[in-house]
Amino acid sequence: MCGVLGVFQRSKEPGIERRIDAGMHALRHRGPNAHGVETYEIADGIVHLGHTRLSIIDLTEGGHQPMHSANGRYVIVFNGEIYNYIELREELKALGCRFTSDSDTEVLLAAWSIWGRACLPRLAGMFAFVVLDREDATLTCVRDAFGIKPFFYTQDSGDFLFASEAPALVALKPTKAQLNWQRAYDYLVHGDYDSKPETFFEGVLHLPPGHLLVVDLAAHSIGEIERWWVPQITERHDLSFEKAAEHVRENFLQSIRLHLRSDVPLGAALSGGVDSSAVVCAMRHVAPDIPIHTFSYAAVGSEVNEENWADIVNQHVGAIAHKVVVTPLELARDLDAMIRAQGEPFGSTSIYAQYRVYQLAKENGVTVTLDGQGADEMLAGYFGYPGQRLRSLLETGRWIQAVRFFNAWSQWPGRSRMNGLKRVVAAMTDGELYQILRKLDGRKAVPIWIRGDVLIQRNVNLVHPRQPLIANECGRRVMAELAHSLTQRGLPHLLRHGDRNSMYFSIESRVPFLTLEQVELLLSLPEHYLISQNGETKSVFRAAMRGIVPDEILNRRDKIGFETPEQQWLTSMAETVREWLQTDIGLPFLDQSVIVREFEDIIAGRKAFSWQVWRWINFIRWYQHFLA
């Protein structure tokens, strides 16, 4: 796991070495073990490539980057892991390739040399990499199918710049970074972020998941972004539920085997939910003798505490358990560091629980962790997508099944008929009607603490940023929503949280649920395999894990995860929060005096608590760090 950066410029500019040093310094936590910067003269221009290395596979100098191909044509900087590198290396050896190291980077470079972009679907792993083709004078930038690893880029004063994190990219820029007002509005009012290529920094973009970008160095031009993987949701009819569960089980266990490949100590983040528990139990199933360290957050004294569920799993596999308990004072102490680690605003204080879990892993000498991220978006978790499921049933004329499903679904903990009806209406409306319904639900496009006229003058779009689905097939509404969640709105911001939090502590976080083989299988199954007729989420996966994961875990009917008692935390530190909100950051569209008044009403109980409080805090503190 590493950090990458690069600059292409027409001629060497004064101060470029200083900016590259600043960018490398900003990435030092992503690669504390080694670093390298090289410069190449290509097509009347200059390419600078930088890399910081966290050594995971092949701890020798054989994995040093930038890395050159045997014939010198290609140069690569790579952030990620290719878990099936051993199998690919044997295949490439049969084609005449020779290897001088045990590094997965060398395998990736050879695969690109032989197969080009056709190698991408063959890679089991997470990656963001750039290949310099010195013969064709191109830079090809690639991001993995789900966006597990980050990649940011921009053009500034004719230069093409890229980096693994937005703050590092900002350090590379010859001009001062500015706020993207549209993304600021989307986040503050609607809680939307990481769902589009645009970031909170004006002109700084992230390469979308499953895409690549080619820069023509001779023409000094950036090509169109190309999608190299598109999720398909066409239903297959050749698998019974039992056979599907067998395939899911085989795929998952094989993924765990590959994800255990490491030359450094590894462990697992464990919340006690179905997903992280399955990861830990599968680790024990495929590797009976390895020591397993688990790292958990305990919300002691709160109704969202999952400690007892984690204890069941730890006892089942004989794990060495590590737990962290968090207080509001610690949140106040660490808030600025966490905001700097994330680089952009984020959704809630649950990210702090994750932050402390990775810190705990670091303190106990573990460098690699396995995580259950992505399972909800590929298995129809959370609340089971009732709106989309009912729409699928109604579109295909299964009215009686729809009524029965709705009644059964609403009986589960945390659900109700009213909540289900809202989700159905949301799933079956779009456009102007959707915006009207949001207003009726009390979700204002211009709350009183936003100056809408100022935003309109800057051409900010004052509507909820709802994106069209990748695929939208009649009777497959759940699968269309999952495909959307996996690559656009949903999973991307969760993966961002995990990547930044883990890498801040130089921890490599692996997500074994997210393999192309598994996702493509699940998206092809009948919808009721994922959401049963009685409203059970992840049905086929629960069946697949019987005998591996304790039944108490598989039979859980609630969903918590690393959830924090946010209201309790923020209200207990009201004095500190008040100081943060009162600090004027000078944005003309933000009325901070009204924000403070709204906060006082919430603390006094005159208004209901909402996640809006966190967004105010997070945005204001982030702005002070990066743009003030």
User: What is the pLDDT, as a whole number, of residue 326?
Assistant: 85
pLDDT at 541 over 90: yes
pLDDT given for residue 471 in this prediction: 60
Residue 570 has pLDDT above 90, yes or no: no
- Mean pLDDT for the stretch of residues 503-517: 96
| Structure tokens that stand for 313 in this block | 């799993």
270 has pLDDT over 90: yes
As given in the structure block, the two tokens for residue 218 are: 């001779």
Average pLDDT over the chain, rounded to an integer = 91
pTM: 0.92
Q: What is the pLDDT of residue 438?
A: 54
Give which of 492, 523, 485, 482 is closest to 248, Cα–Cα: 523
Query: Mean pLDDT throughout 13-33?
Result: 89
In this predicted structure, what is the pLDDT of residue 561?
A: 53
Query: Is there a contact between 544 and 245 (Cβ–Cβ < 8 Å)?
Result: yes
Q: How high is the pLDDT of residue 434?
A: 54
Is residue 276 predicted with pLDDT exceeding 80?
Answer: yes
Do 241-378+489-554 and 2-227 have the same topology in CATH? no
> For residues 300 and 287, which has the higher predicted lDDT (pLDDT)?
287
Long-range Cβ contacts of 420-429 (<8 Å, 24+ apart): 420/386, 420/387, 423/383, 423/385, 423/386, 423/387, 424/386, 424/387, 424/390, 424/391, 425/387, 426/387, 427/385, 427/387, 427/388, 427/390, 427/391, 427/477, 427/481, 428/387, 428/391
**The pLDDT value given to residue 14:** 79
Tens-place pLDDT, residues 163-216: 999 999 999 998 899 999 999 999 999 999 999 999 999 999 999 999 999 999
Residue 232 contacts residue 518 (beta carbons within 8 Å): no
Identify whether the C-beta of residue 482 lies closer than 8 Å to the C-beta of residue 389: no
pLDDT at residue 474 tops 90: no
pLDDT of residue 204: 96
| Angstrom distance (rounded) from CA 491 to CA 507 | 20
Q: What is the mean pLDDT of residues 609-628?
A: 92
The answer to whether the beta carbons of residues 10 and 45 sit under 8 Å apart is yes
472 band by pLDDT with thresholds 50, 70 and 90: low
Quick one: pLDDT band at residue 522, thresholds 50, 70, 90? very high
Stretch 359-381: mean pLDDT, rounded? 95
Residue 393 has pLDDT above 60, yes or no: yes
Q: What is the pLDDT of residues 411-460, one digit of tens each?
A: 888 888 888 888 877 777 765 555 555 555 556 789 999 999 999 999 99
Residue 243 predicted with pLDDT over 70: yes
- Amino acid (1-letter code) at residue 60: T
pLDDT band at 228 (very low <50, low <70, confident <90, very high): very high
pLDDT digits (tens, 9 = 90+) for 102-150: 899 999 999 999 999 999 999 999 999 999 999 999 999 999 999 999 9
Mean pLDDT to the nearest integer, 575-600: 93
Residue 605: the pLDDT is 86
Look at residue 236 and tell me whether its pLDDT is greater than 60: yes
Q: How confident is the model at residue 476 (pLDDT cuts 50, 70, 90)?
A: very high
Q: Which residue has the higher pLDDT, 594 or 472?
A: 594
Q: Would you kindly state where each structural domain of the chain is located, as residue ranges?
A: 2-227, 241-378+489-554, 384-487, 566-626
Overall average pLDDT of the 565-581 stretch: 83
Q: Please state which CATH number belongs to domain 2-227.
A: 3.60.20.10
For residue 608, the SS3 value is coil
> Using an 8 Å Cβ cutoff, are 217 and 137 in contact?
yes
Q: Which pLDDT value is given to residue 304? A: 65
Rounded to 10 degrees, the C-alpha dihedral 562/563/566/567 comes to -160
Quick one: average pLDDT of 505-515? 96
Position 411 scores a pLDDT of 87
412, amino acid identity: W
What's residue 426's pLDDT?
76
CATH of domain 241-378+489-554: 3.40.50.620
Residue 301 confidence class, pLDDT cut points 50, 70, 90: low
The pLDDT, as a whole number, for residue 627 is 93
Q: Are strands 293-297 and 266-269 parallel, antiparallel or unpaired?
A: parallel
Q: Answer whether 471's CB lies under 8 Å from 231's CB.
A: yes
What are the tokens at 5?
A: 């950066």
Give me the mean pLDDT over the 336-351 stretch.
Answer: 92
> Residue 227 pLDDT more than 60?
yes
Give the model confidence (pLDDT) of 480-502 as tens digits. 999 999 998 889 999 999 999 99
More confident residue, 435 or 252: 252
Q: Which residue has the higher pLDDT, 89 or 490?
A: 89
